[in-house]
């Protein structure tokens, strides 16, 4: 059996979809499960054991008829028996119908002509649980569990080598304060100001001087990181070259401090104690509910910059 999952969105969306893939794999252990994702998100599947093949399609591009014909041909070659898709677009159901896929699972939209099985869309819950509801379309009655990672051994060894390089012996606190360029392009600023991060770092270093603070530097974080290390030269910096090594680094941390981002979802999936900052996004939909391991601080406004450092520190020491 071959199953196709259409999962638009960034790395965070892919990680949030991991529980759905895990439940499908548990129900159909012999099945080959493929995902169709945007090129920017392919890397997420380095740490997902449920997927056989990652196919690429730029959902957000201005695709023409030729692009869709190529996609139809690619999917037909693989002879999928079932498909599941995020979103409510009837045109996606049409695409799957044109490919002759017998079972087509999606959310109820009111225009469900091309879906064989639909599931109510409940947006008032943790996003991973909302995605996981789709397994009901397969008749799967599986309990929901938050995302989990499968980190390659080579990536774990890389993270251990980085700890030795940085002379880390008593654990460490990670900070990821960057934001993707796509978020900035959309006008969503998830970068917490450096001067406020520095107040948090100073308090951490004073109260736990033997636990290093390590900054994760992504490919778009040069300016932010340089400003941080100039003002706080004792912090350490590490630049994971891929998502597997980033995940391994996160999994080894005592605490992850971050903004709402892909690394936040990786931290949750790694089971690391996580404190995340939220501005325009709703933390109730992006953090597992009723958890004392994954905490959030919601801005009193829609600006993440309006979170007071003292509020973050209260969560760290009292949370």
3 state DSSP class of 287: coil
- Sign, Cα dihedral of 299, 301, 305, 308: negative
The dihedral over CA atoms of 26, 32, 37, 42, expressed in degrees to the nearest 10, equals 90
Q: Return d(Cα 250, Cα 270) in angstroms, integer.
A: 7
Q: Return d(Cα 242, Cα 44) in angstroms, integer.
A: 9
Q: What is the pLDDT of residues 5-61, one digit of tens each?
A: 999 999 999 999 999 999 999 999 999 999 999 999 999 999 999 999 999 998 877
Q: Is residue 164 part of a domain?
A: yes
The closest alpha carbon to 307, from 280, 288, 285, belongs to: 280
Q: Return d(Cα 167, Cα 198) in angstroms, integer.
A: 22
Q: Is residue 144 part of a domain?
A: no
**Do 116 and 185 belong to one domain?**
no
Q: What is the pLDDT of residues 112-164, one digit of tens each?
A: 899 999 999 999 999 999 999 999 999 999 899 999 999 999 999 999 999 99
Decide: 247 and 266 in contact? Cβ < 8 Å: yes
Q: Return d(Cα 261, Cα 81) in angstroms, integer.
A: 34
Decide: 119 and 134 in contact? Cβ < 8 Å: yes
**Do 126 and 197 belong to one domain?**
no
**Do 167 and 297 belong to one domain?**
yes
How many Cα atoms within 13 Å fall on the side-chain side of residue 270? Answer: 27
Residue 220: pLDDT band (50, 70, 90) is confident
**Do 10 and 105 belong to one domain?**
yes
Beta bridge partners of residue 141, listed in sequence order: none
How many Cα atoms within 13 Å fall on the side-chain side of residue 241? Answer: 5
- 304 has a pLDDT exceeding 60: yes
Q: Return d(Cα 55, Cα 64) in angstroms, integer.
A: 18
Q: What is the pLDDT of residues 249-285, one digit of tens each?
A: 999 999 999 999 999 999 999 999 999 999 999 999 9
What does the pLDDT read at residue 182?
Answer: 54
What does the pLDDT read at residue 205?
Answer: 95
Q: Is residue 31 part of a domain?
A: yes
Q: What is the pTM of this model?
A: 0.93
Q: Is residue 143 part of a domain?
A: no
Q: How many domains does the chain have?
A: 2
**Do 170 and 200 belong to one domain?**
yes
Helices 243-251 and 153-165: crossing angle, nearest 10°?
60
Residue with the two structure tokens 């404190």: 275
Q: Count other Cβ atoms within 10 Å, centred on residue 28.
A: 17
Q: What is the pLDDT of residues 156-209, one digit of tens each?
A: 999 999 999 999 988 999 999 876 555 555 556 688 999 999 999 999 999 999
């Amino acid at each position: 059996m071959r199953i196709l999952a259409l999962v638009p969105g960034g790395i965070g969306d892919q990680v949030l979809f991991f529980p759905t893939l895990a439940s499908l794999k548990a129900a159909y252990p012999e099945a080959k499960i493929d995902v169709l994702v945007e090129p920017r998100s392919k890397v997420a599947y380095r740490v997902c054991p449920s997927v056989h093949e990652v196919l690429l399609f730029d959902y957000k591009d201005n695709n023409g008829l030729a692009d869709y014909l190529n996609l139809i041909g690619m999917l037909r070659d693989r002879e999928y028996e079932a498909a599941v898709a995020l979103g409510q677009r009837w045109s996606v159901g049409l695409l799957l119908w044109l490919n002759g896929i017998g079972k087509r699972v999606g959310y109820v939209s009111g225009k469900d002509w091309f879906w064989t099985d639909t599931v109510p869309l409940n947006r008032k819950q943790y996003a991973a649980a909302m995605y996981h509801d789709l397994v009901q379309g397969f008749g799967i009655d599986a309990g929901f569990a938050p995302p989990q990672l499968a980190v390659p051994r080579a990536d774990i060894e890389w993270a251990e080598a980085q700890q030795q390089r940085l002379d880390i012996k008593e654990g460490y606190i990670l900070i990821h304060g960057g934001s993707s360029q796509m978020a900035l392009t959309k006008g969503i600023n998830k970068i917490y100001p450096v001067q406020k991060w520095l107040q948090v770092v100073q308090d951490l270093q004073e109260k736990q001087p033997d636990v290093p603070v390590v900054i994760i530097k992504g490919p778009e974080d040069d300016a932010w990181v340089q400003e941080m290390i100039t003002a706080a030269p004792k912090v350490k910096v590490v630049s994971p070259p891929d998502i597997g090594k980033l995940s391994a680094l996160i999994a080894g941390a005592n605490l992850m401090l971050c903004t709402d981002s892909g690394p936040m979802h990786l931290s949750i999936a790694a089971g690391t104690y996580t404190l995340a900052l939220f501005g325009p996004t709703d933390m109730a939909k992006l953090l597992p509910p009723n958890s004392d391991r994954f905490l959030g601080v919601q801005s009193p406004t829609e600006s993440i910059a309006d979170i007071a450092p003292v509020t973050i520190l209260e969560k760290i020491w009292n949370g």
